[in-house]
Amino acid sequence: MNHLLKKTQFLKAIIFPVCIILFFTNPAHAGSTGQNLLVELEEALVSLADKVRPSVVSMSAYVPPSPSIRRQGDKSGVPASAGSGVIIDGVKGIIVTNGHVVRGSGKIKVTLLGGEEKVGTVLGIDEDTDIAVVQIETEKTLSSSILGDSSGLKIGQFAVAVGNPYGLNDTLTFGIISGLNRENVNLSRYEDFIQTDASINPGNSGGPLLNIRGDIIGINTAIINYAQSIGFAIPSNIVRKVVGELLEFGEVRRGWLGVGIESVTAKIAQEVKGRAGEGVWVNSVFEGDPAHRAGIRIGDVILRIGGTAVDTPSRVIRLIGAFSPGQSVNLDILRDGKRKVVTVKLERQKKRPDKVFKKSLQGIDEPSLGMEVESLGGDKGVVVSRVYPGSTAEKQGLRVGDYIEAINGRAVSKIIEFKEVLSSVLEGGEIHVLILRGKSKLHIKITQKD
């Protein structure tokens, strides 16, 4: 096998391009040498396919044999999206797939290469990365693939995708890595995608993206509709961390900083004496959270996290989330035109606010807040419908018709989200409101009265 790996690496780097050139520019001189090289490449790909295909499974909705035996509260019969998965532990029957493939299902039907069907149990889902872990019972060791190292990937390297597009089981496609570190694709919270031109279609979701050695370098997750040869995969190093924590804790435990951030525009750069596109601007700091305790202030620009430069909110979220709760990390910041380093001890991200806003949820529209809001319907957002005379809201310049984008750095698109964010603020605490007025974004600070 080592001989085969060395041969495929050599073919990838040199021989395949040269061979193509020979065939299309001077076929008379190519002779048997060029043909032999292509044959060797073909054999290498066939060997790769034979090696990895048995570890790739098809996943679809599980329907119990009889509805009458379904236990109360069992979600096994809830339809899941058809997709793929890959076995990473053949002894324990551990399978990695996408979260959206198994979402809403406690059980999932797993079909192995050859047609054998098994019932899989969903052990955990991480919505923030769209990764899920499923386990099937097995009496024999199943074929499995190895999670490789995605940190050294380079654009132009070969990539192979395996899955079940459109129900066509056991489909293999071949291409290259087209891009790295893709973010702002709006597929998940933590985005750092591999882009590939290896054909990925509906049904490929959850299947592996592999290098020429047959190691998993990513989990295929999505395509851009109506675009050709643009697919995305979650890097294997992210997958490894998520899977490990799902198996150990049943959830992923990420570091939490406690700030609201946005990109540094030219206008912000002028105000903070920095450079546009360099770092991220802190627009709010959550009271009592790690950043607040470490002395981070509104108006600071975070330049580096643990020595790694940041330039987008997505990168900050991803880097902070890569640390475990309790870890300390150095932040290089820009404040009043001067650089300094602040050490922050991260906490575990809270799913429920532990601070209690003493008013009832219905009380958010009372004069003590200084304003009333109403929904535009669905997820279209929240607008200010009334500002009370003499209130802090009025004094700070809040107006009827202002569109509320975020409170204390947390996005708001529904009334319930507006209430949930405010419920985490103690009476007397500061509320930092990011509003859109016309084409301008404004930050307004309101102090909740006791």
Residues with catalytic roles: 100, 130, 205
Tell me the domain boundaries of the chain.
2-53, 55-65+74-252, 255-348, 361-447
Taking CB atoms within 8 Å and a gap of at least 24, the contacts of 270-277 are 272/299, 272/301, 272/334, 272/336, 272/337, 273/334, 273/336, 273/337, 274/301, 274/334, 274/337, 277/311
Strands 216-223 and 171-182: unpaired
What are residue 324's phi and psi, to 5 degrees? Answer: -90, 150
> pLDDT tens across 314-336, in order?
889 888 988 889 999 999 999 98
Q: 391 or 58: whose pLDDT is higher? A: 58
pLDDT at 4 over 90: no
Average pLDDT estimate for 286-308:
89
5-9, 284-288, 415-419, 433-437: lowest mean pLDDT where? Answer: 5-9
Nearest to 49 by CA among 196, 160, 148: 160
Model confidence at 211, pLDDT cuts 50, 70, 90, reads: very high
> pLDDT tens across 69-117, in order?
444 444 444 344 578 999 999 999 999 999 888 887 788 999 998 889 9
Report which secondary-structure segment, H or E, holds 29: helix 27-52
Output the pLDDT for position 66.
Answer: 56
Output the pLDDT for position 86.
Answer: 94
CATH topology of domain 255-348: Pdz3 Domain (2.30.42)
Nearest to 51 by CA among 172, 204, 231: 172
Pure H helices in 225-289 = 236-249, 266-272
Location of structure tokens 């419920």: 423
Question: How far, in Å, CA of 371 to CA of 19, rounded?
Answer: 72
What predicted TM-score, i.e. pTM, was given to this entire model? 0.64
Q: 167 or 417: whose pLDDT is higher? A: 417
> pLDDT tens across 280-290, in order?
998 878 878 89
Amino acid identity of 159? A
Instruction: Tell me whether domains 55-65+74-252 and 361-447 share a fold.
Output: no
The residues with which 174 forms a beta bridge, in sequence order, are 160
Cα-based angle 323, 183, 194 (whole degrees, multiple of 5): 90
Output the pLDDT for position 333.
Answer: 94
Model confidence at 50, pLDDT cuts 50, 70, 90, reads: confident
| Contacting residues for 417 by C-beta, under 8 A, at least 6 apart | 382, 410, 411
Mean pLDDT, rounded, of the chain: 78
> pLDDT tens across 212-253, in order?
888 999 999 876 655 567 888 999 999 999 999 999 888 888
Model confidence at 304, pLDDT cuts 50, 70, 90, reads: very high
Cβ(408)–Cβ(432) below 8 Å: yes
54-63, 278-287, 297-306, 350-359: lowest mean pLDDT where? Answer: 350-359
Output the pLDDT for position 434.
Answer: 83
61-70, 115-124, 183-192: lowest mean pLDDT where? Answer: 61-70
Question: How far, in Å, CA of 435 to CA of 387, rounded?
Answer: 14
CATH topology of domain 55-65+74-252: Thrombin, subunit H (2.40.10)
> pLDDT tens across 337-383, in order?
899 999 999 988 664 333 322 222 233 334 356 777 777 766 667 88
> pLDDT tens across 142-162, in order?
999 999 999 889 999 999 988
pLDDT at 426 over 70: no
Output the pLDDT for position 284.
Answer: 79
Joined tokens for residue 445? 């600070």
Of the CATH numbers 3.30.559.10, 2.30.42.10, 2.30.110.10, 3.40.190.10, which one belongs to the domain with range 361-447? 2.30.42.10
| Contacting residues for 24 by C-beta, under 8 A, at least 6 apart | none
Cα-based angle 124, 125, 127 (whole degrees, multiple of 5): 160
Model confidence at 23, pLDDT cuts 50, 70, 90, reads: very low
Q: 223 or 305: whose pLDDT is higher? A: 305
Output the pLDDT for position 356.
Answer: 26
